[in-house]
Amino acid sequence: MARNASLSGFPEWLPEERLVEAHVLDTLRRTFELHGFSSIETRAVETVGHLLRKGEIDKEVYGLSRLQDDDGNTAVASKDDPNALALHFDLTVPFARYVVENAGYLSFPFRRYQIQKVWRGERPQEGRAREFTQADIDVVADGVLPFRYDVELALVIAEALSALPIPAFKLRINNRKLAEGFYRGIGLTDTAGVLRSIDKLEKIGADAVATLLKNELGATDEQAAKALALASIRTEDTSFVAAVRALGVTDELMEEGLDELEQVIAAAIKSAPGSVVADLSIARGLDYYTGTVYETVLVGHEQLGSICSGGRYDALASKGNRKFPGVGLSIGVTRLVARILSQEFAKASRSVPTAVLVTLSDEDSWGEAQDVAAALRARGISTEVAAKADKFGKQIKYADKRGIPYVWFTDESGEHQVKDIRSGEQVVADPAVWMPPVEDLTPQIIKA
Amino acid sequence: MARNASLSGFPEWLPEERLVEAHVLDTLRRTFELHGFSSIETRAVETVGHLLRKGEIDKEVYGLSRLQDDDGNTAVASKDDPNALALHFDLTVPFARYVVENAGYLSFPFRRYQIQKVWRGERPQEGRAREFTQADIDVVADGVLPFRYDVELALVIAEALSALPIPAFKLRINNRKLAEGFYRGIGLTDTAGVLRSIDKLEKIGADAVATLLKNELGATDEQAAKALALASIRTEDTSFVAAVRALGVTDELMEEGLDELEQVIAAAIKSAPGSVVADLSIARGLDYYTGTVYETVLVGHEQLGSICSGGRYDALASKGNRKFPGVGLSIGVTRLVARILSQEFAKASRSVPTAVLVTLSDEDSWGEAQDVAAALRARGISTEVAAKADKFGKQIKYADKRGIPYVWFTDESGEHQVKDIRSGEQVVADPAVWMPPVEDLTPQIIKA
């Protein structure tokens, strides 16, 4: 690994690296399906009008245009044309459209996972790509979505991340109702503005955030200090409730948020002890979140940024008077896999699926070798047949170079034999019966 | 199904349809891996210069441009700028680049499969989409690729297609050396021009092709008749060899092609009897093919066009003096899945992965229900927990609506029970032991 992408921001993996990525994707898929999430995919393309309806991310979107349209002119995608096409930049916005369009065909609450590439036209930097894979889970209701799903999704995602070959992680959870109610309670009414300022805490520090709050939102010294005091609360248990109360603010919405966050943290601690923290500084940039918000960092790799984020959104999708509230999380698969590879958290035991190479004793034996291979494949053993009757040593060398552990051959007496080319051990074998040890059957992903 | 895509040419599947697609993809993946093909993915984006180097397909390419570049201006992708970015329209051209760029990290012959979406900006029509999934296998060598791989790939693809829930198929195979040598042998030197005309045979008929050959390529009546006679040969065995010889043409390249095609057909007939035909009308539009060419139709659905095509290409990828000849085939997954769904060749036994819904006797039992669910999931049983302690009947109705076959509950005496809501049968059960029948464990894809 550590080759540079030939196009900056568009990583591509070698076969042995792709095996690690496939393992991550298979593990996520399996976990999500065990929890009853259905797979869907949405088209890569949305209309500009749909993508930009939140109006804040147009710098990052790749527009599409046919290089030559039917009249021979170059057509141009423009942000001023709502019907122009563009690549999706996440999976939540397309999912909201899918739910609204297919509401009559889905049964609610609709639980889905979605693993696809997304594109952002931003300048690439460490940990950020222009094309990357996300793995999302969401639950969406028609009408009212019980709060319990906010708890459940934290448990599912903690289980999914725990199954991956990555270091310990911290799932940081907050609640917008708690924060917004608190800000309101201390007299700061532009709660979205306060959230945006608090979101910059990690980047610019407490003093600069205090200045922002005072200069841009008209906060007093005391209000700024209280808002920062709230954001400084981090507990690995439910003691954050007492810590918030100690700040002496009363607000109904805040109480609702406190109660919700307490439920999420209590259940998540039980299910994933040591991996969950109530972190009252978490704001999440996107403004469609309305309750629980989640972020996740790898312990010791905090500078990588969040590898899994999401939250509750009560108003992202609607159809007339019908509302489809949801809660979901998105795992940054490419970011995770790039880190697994660069830090060698895990690697594949070999780069090819092939367990056995059936060698040729002479050119006429190719058909017979195909029969041996078919017998092995019928029992799930990945098998290749040599393309030429080279000298036996050369055929073994080919297997060795490709990392194939076993070669199959027929000895002078016509007896089938199989040789482990690592140990040199060889045994008489029947193509209808012989099995390699399970660790040789398929490439294994080995944690460092 | 049969909903219209909300954006013409960009199909999206409902969850139960996606299960059919996932089954097709899983089956292909498994078959390819059993034959020793490694998975890779390439970025969705190539430079215009790389995509258009064959110069004939610029109408179909989607260019990319950032909707707003850093200076606030709209940047435009242009076919005149070789560094502009565009979406790939197939997986062969990106694969050729990948091989050249990573030659130092791959071991040859390199066998890979690649399952990804591709995009073409053409007008959508029956069976054609603007975004669709292809599943490709290729073998590429560094230097010389033994002809035997042309035979092997036909066998692999026949095995892969046979494993899918589709009607009988015909793999039509031809060889460009045979055709080009024959044309040369009858005095038609613009062999690429003849191939292009013959490629139109199915669309415009023999008379129109004869006119083309005479008017555009200066063929005599006799030459046109001979070229058409060659293209009329279709045999399900190797008798095409005698049929070609009976046309009385001699040419060295033709003989090489005859010999190659005979080998492919002989082996493929043995492995997939009834599914293979030597069809000397097959030309394939793209001009990078240099030997064997393949097309595949579904019997009774010929108007759908080819569902799997490919061929040998000796000069697609090179690096200085180094050549990387290859042979490969591409399955049109979206076209196949759309047909499977519209003709109901197969469908999913249920739309959700979930086998069991653990119900709640009261709100406080949610944590306990999570423990039951965890015990079931640990043994591979997909399980959901009810979000609310609704009346038991309502919880059963929820399971029924979603197609979940079993509900789990605790009776008055605190004993665990599981109920098959289709039959009404219920039994005392232990979460650590109980298993549903294998056909209920996961959604099954049932062939019609």
ipTM of the complex: 0.95
- Selecting from B22, B58, B270 the residue whose C-beta is nearest the C-beta of A39 gives B22
Q: Which residues of B74-88 are buried (b: 16+ CB within 10 A; e: fewer)?
A: ebbbbbeeeebbbbb
Min mean pLDDT across A47-61, A255-269, B169-183, B362-376 is at A47-61
- Report, as an integer, the average pLDDT of A15-27: 98
Residue A447 gets which letter from DSSP? E
Annotated binding-site members of A: 90-92, 120, 134, 138, 284, 288-289
Reduce the DSSP state of residue A332 to 3 states and report it.
strand
How many Å lie between the alpha carbon of A187 and the closest alpha carbon of chain B?
A: 36
Report chain A residues whose CB lies below 8 A from the CB of B367: 267, 270
How many Å lie between the alpha carbon of A185 and the closest alpha carbon of chain B?
A: 31
Q: Which two tokens stand for residue A89?
A: 């930049």
- On the question of pLDDT at A20 being above 70, the answer is yes
Q: Provide the greatest CA pair distance for chain A.
A: 94
Phi, psi of A214 (to 5 degrees): -75, -45
Of residues B239 and B411, more confidence is placed in B239
State chain B's mean pLDDT as an integer.
92
Q: Provide the pLDDT confidence category of residue B1 given band limits of 50, 70 and 90.
A: very low
- Selecting from B64, B146, B380 the residue whose C-beta is nearest the C-beta of A387 gives B146
With an 8 Å Cβ cutoff, are B59 and A41 in contact?
A: no
- Report, as an integer, the average pLDDT of B99-125: 91
Q: Which two tokens stand for residue B227?
A: 């070229």
Distance CA A170, CA A295 (A): 8
* Adjacent-strand bridge partners of B65: A63
Residue B105 to residues A1, A356, B99, B108, B232, Cα–Cα distance (Å): 9, 22, 9, 10, 45
How many Å lie between the alpha carbon of B352 and the closest alpha carbon of chain A?
A: 6
Amino acid at A172: R
Of residues B66 and A258, more confidence is placed in A258
Q: Which two tokens stand for residue A186?
A: 């201390």
Q: Which pLDDT score, from 0 to 100, does residue B209 have?
A: 95
Q: Are B11 and A51 in contact (CB under 8 A)?
A: no
Q: Which pLDDT score, from 0 to 100, does residue B2 have?
A: 44
The enclosing H or E element of A385 equals strand A383-385
DSSP per residue, A143-185:
S---THHHHHHHHHHHHHHHTSS---EEEEEEEHHHHHHHHHH
Distance CA B142, CA A383 (A): 22
Report chain B residues whose CB lies below 8 A from the CB of A78: 67, 74
Q: Provide the pLDDT confidence category of residue B81 given band limits of 50, 70 and 90.
A: confident
Q: Provide the pLDDT confidence category of residue A2 given band limits of 50, 70 and 90.
A: very low
Would strands B234-235 and B276-279 be described as parallel, antiparallel, or unpaired?
antiparallel
- On the question of pLDDT at A408 being above 60, the answer is yes
- On the question of pLDDT at A55 being above 80, the answer is no
Q: For residue range B247-278, what is the model confidence (pLDDT) as tens digits?
A: 999 999 999 999 999 999 999 998 888 999 99
Q: Are B45 and A120 in contact (CB under 8 A)?
A: no
Reduce the DSSP state of residue A442 to 3 states and report it.
coil
- On the question of pLDDT at B322 being above 70, the answer is yes
Q: Are B117 and B130 in contact (CB under 8 A)?
A: no
Degrees, nearest 5: CA angle B111-B112-B114: 165
High-pLDDT (> 70) share of chain B, %: 94
- Report, as an integer, the average pLDDT of B165-179: 96
B224-230 — which CB contacts under 8 Å span 24+ positions?
B226/B182, B226/B186, B227/B182, B227/B183, B227/B186, B227/B188, B227/B194, B227/B198, B228/B201, B230/B179, B230/B182, B230/B280
Distance CA B89, CA B447 (A): 31
Residue A125 gets which letter from DSSP? B
Q: Which residue, among A95, A96, A112, has the nearest Cα to B15 in the 3D structure?
A: A112
High-pLDDT (> 90) share of chain A, %: 82
**What is the SS3 string spanning chain B?**
CCCCCCCCCCCCCCHHHHHHHHHHHHHHHHHHHHCCCEECCCCCEEEHHHHCCCCCCHHHCEEEEECCCCCCCCCCCCCCCCCCEEECCCCHHHHHHHHHHHHHHCCCCEEEEEEEEEECCCCCECCECCEEEEEEEEEECCCCCCCHHHHHHHHHHHHHHHCCCCCCEEEEEEEHHHHHHHHHHCCCCCHHHHHHHHCCHHHHCHHHHHHHHHHHHCCCHHHHHHHHHHHCCEECCCCHHHHHHCCCCCCHHHHHHHHHHHHHHHHHHHHCCCCEEEECCCCCCCCCCCCEEEEEEECCCHHHCCCEEEEEECCCCEECCEECCEEEEEEEHHHHHHHHHHCCCEEECCCCCCCEEECCCCHHHHHHHHHHHHHHHCCCCCEEECCCCCCHHHHHHHHHHHCCCEEEEECCCCCEEEEECCCCCEEECCCCCCCCCHHHHCCCEEEC
Q: For residue range B327-336, what is the model confidence (pLDDT) as tens digits?
A: 999 999 999 9
- Selecting from B41, B377, B380 the residue whose C-beta is nearest the C-beta of A18 gives B41
Q: Which two tokens stand for residue A300?
A: 């010791």
Q: Which residue, among B262, B203, B261, B199, has the nearest Cα to B227 in the 3D structure?
A: B199
Q: Provide the pLDDT confidence category of residue A3 given band limits of 50, 70 and 90.
A: low
Min mean pLDDT across A20-29, A126-135, B62-71, B247-256 is at B62-71
Tell me how many residue pairs between chain A and chain B have CB atoms under 8 A apart: 240
Q: Which two tokens stand for residue A428?
A: 């008489």
With an 8 Å Cβ cutoff, are B117 and A44 in contact?
A: yes
Q: For residue range A95-110, what is the model confidence (pLDDT) as tens digits?
A: 999 999 999 999 999 9
With an 8 Å Cβ cutoff, are A15 and B106 in contact?
A: yes
- Assign residue A270 a region (left: φ > 0; alpha: ψ between -120 and 50; beta: otherwise): alpha
Domains and CATH numbers, chain B: 15-347 (3.30.930.10), 356-447 (3.40.50.800)
Distance CA A334, CA A324 (A): 29
- On the question of pLDDT at A266 being above 50, the answer is yes
Amino acid at A217: L
Distance CA A113, CA A328 (A): 9
Annotated binding-site members of B for L-histidine: 90-92, 120, 134, 138, 284, 288-289
Q: Provide the pLDDT confidence category of residue B442 given band limits of 50, 70 and 90.
A: very high
- Report, as an integer, the average pLDDT of A224-253: 96
Q: Which pLDDT score, from 0 to 100, does residue A67 have?
A: 80
Distance CA B274, CA A292 (A): 60
Q: Are B275 and B169 in contact (CB under 8 A)?
A: yes
With an 8 Å Cβ cutoff, are B64 and A62 in contact?
A: yes
Min mean pLDDT across A79-83, A188-192, A373-377, A426-430 is at A79-83
* Adjacent-strand bridge partners of A150: none
Q: Which pLDDT score, from 0 to 100, does residue A219 have?
A: 95
With an 8 Å Cβ cutoff, are A86 and B67 in contact?
A: yes
- On the question of pLDDT at A305 being above 70, the answer is yes
Q: Which two tokens stand for residue A347?
A: 């690697």
Burial (0-12, 13-18, 19+ Cβ within 10 Å), A30: middle
Q: Are A164 and A31 in contact (CB under 8 A)?
A: no
Report chain A residues whose CB lies below 8 A from the CB of B387: 109, 146, 148-149, 152
Q: Please name the residue that has the structure tokens 């008055």.
A: B412
Annotated binding-site members of A for L-histidine: 90-92, 120, 134, 138, 284, 288-289
The enclosing H or E element of A396 equals helix A392-402
Q: Which pLDDT score, from 0 to 100, does residue A106 have?
A: 95
- Report, as an integer, the average pLDDT of A274-278: 95
- On the question of pLDDT at A278 being above 90, the answer is yes
With an 8 Å Cβ cutoff, are A76 and B74 in contact?
A: yes
- Selecting from B38, B64, B78 the residue whose C-beta is nearest the C-beta of A352 gives B38
Q: For residue range A58-96, what is the model confidence (pLDDT) as tens digits?
A: 458 899 988 866 554 555 667 778 889 999 999 999 999
Q: Which pLDDT score, from 0 to 100, does residue B80 have?
A: 75
- Selecting from A33, A48, A98 the residue whose C-beta is nearest the C-beta of B382 gives A33
- On the question of pLDDT at B127 being above 90, the answer is no
- On the question of pLDDT at A159 being above 60, the answer is yes
How many Å lie between the alpha carbon of B353 and the closest alpha carbon of chain A?
A: 5
- Report, as an integer, the average pLDDT of A224-246: 96
Q: Which residue, among A336, A311, A335, has the nearest Cα to A325 in the 3D structure?
A: A311
- Report, as an integer, the average pLDDT of B402-429: 95
DSSP per residue, A250-297:
--HHHHHHHHHHHHHHHHHHHHSTTSEEEETT---S-TT--SEEEEEE
- Selecting from B70, B101, B388 the residue whose C-beta is nearest the C-beta of A146 gives B388
- On the question of pLDDT at A238 being above 90, the answer is yes
State chain A's mean pLDDT as an integer.
92
Q: For residue range B186-199, what is the model confidence (pLDDT) as tens digits?
A: 999 999 899 999 98
High-pLDDT (> 90) share of chain B, %: 82
Q: Which pLDDT score, from 0 to 100, does residue B59 have?
A: 56
Report chain B residues whose CB lies below 8 A from the CB of A112: 15
Mutation target to probe the A interface, by most A beta carbons within 10 A, among B39, B43, B47, B312 is: B43
- On the question of pLDDT at B3 being above 90, the answer is no
Q: Which residue, among A211, A235, A233, A234, has the nearest Cα to A223 in the 3D structure?
A: A211
With an 8 Å Cβ cutoff, are A66 and B76 in contact?
A: no
- On the question of pLDDT at A54 being above 80, the answer is no
Q: For residue range B15-67, what is the model confidence (pLDDT) as tens digits?
A: 999 999 999 999 999 999 999 999 999 999 999 988 887 655 545 889 998 88
Q: Which pLDDT score, from 0 to 100, does residue B399 have?
A: 96
